[in-house]
Amino acid sequence: MNERVIEVWELAKRFGDVVAVDRLSFEVRRGEIFGLLGPNGAGKTTTIQLLLGLTTPTSGSARVLGMDVTRDTRRVLQRVNFSSAYISLPSNLTVRQNLKVFCRLYGIRRADERVRELLELFDIPGIADRATGALSSGQLTRVNLCKAFVNHPEVLFLDEPTASLDPDIADKVRTALKRLQREQGVSIVYTSHNMREVEILCDRVLFISRGKAVAQGSPREVVERANGASLEEVFIAIARDGELRDTAAASE
């Protein structure tokens, strides 16, 4: 659990005058679920883009699985995966067709077998031949997660995967992720605005505000350090003040 799968050092990204990520440093260990948290516009999505090589950093470094993301992007991408509530799979293809395409893109040779495994893993074996566009949002989220697990990723980036899901399906997704973390030792970088979910799921969290790290540790440590009652209270305080203060004092 102490092996570092992500090492970020003084990572910065500027878009003209806007500093999206401001000399961020953190690490993620093998097998942990790491919450990347903060208000809208804090720099979470840009940080994930930098870690996936979708955006090049202005300065600093990001290493994933011991490789420099900017230099070894394809080798990194072979061993990681990504899913977001804000991207989709082609709706006119069946679930099986979509997953078979991604099996090939990740070099998985026995695609049919892998598709069957994935659908069983996420408890949706009966939908293989349905058009992806005809699925409920809960089924669609799980199909997106099937795609994200297609290559047995060692590191998974999940950007608000449970956004727009009802509590029952969101709970099923969290349970599946916890199980996969336990069984496959996958490390997950997780963003969410649902702090209750983060408390349940994440081993450690990093709060970002205006691109800067403002708090880091286990959810309980962060809450205690802020003298708050819950992670949600800490989130609100950070969103309003832009930094971590004693949340009890801040609310007075």
Minimum gap (Å) between residue 55 Cβ and other proteins: 4
Which tokens belong to 76?
């990194």
Does the protein bind other proteins through residue 13 (CB under 8 A)? yes
Does the protein bind other proteins through residue 156 (CB under 8 A)? no
Whole-number Å distance between alpha carbons of 199 and 61? 29
Positive or negative, the Cα torsion across 65, 187, 83, 199?
A: negative
Total of residues contacting other proteins (CB under 8 A): 38
Does the protein bind other proteins through residue 90 (CB under 8 A)? yes
Q: Which of 124, 121, 128 is nearest to 152 (CA)?
A: 121
Q: Which of 27, 34, 36 is nearest to 65 (CA)?
A: 27
Minimum gap (Å) between residue 77 Cβ and other proteins: 4
The site map against other proteins for 38-77 (x = CB under 8 A) is -------xx--x--xxxxx-----------------xx-x
By beta-carbon proximity to other proteins, the closer residue of 81 and 216 is 81
Minimum gap (Å) between residue 124 Cβ and other proteins: 18
Residue with tokens 């969101």: 170
Helix ranges (H only) for 35-94 are: 44-51, 73-79
Strand locations in the chain, DSSP E? 4-15, 18-29, 33-37, 59-64, 67-68, 80-84, 155-159, 187-191, 204-209, 212-217
Minimum gap (Å) between residue 165 Cβ and other proteins: 18
Does the protein bind other proteins through residue 114 (CB under 8 A)? no
Minimum gap (Å) between residue 246 Cβ and other proteins: 35
Q: Binding residues for other proteins, per CB under 8 A?
A: 13, 15, 20, 45-46, 49, 52-56, 74-75, 77-78, 80-82, 84, 86-93, 97, 100-107, 109, 147
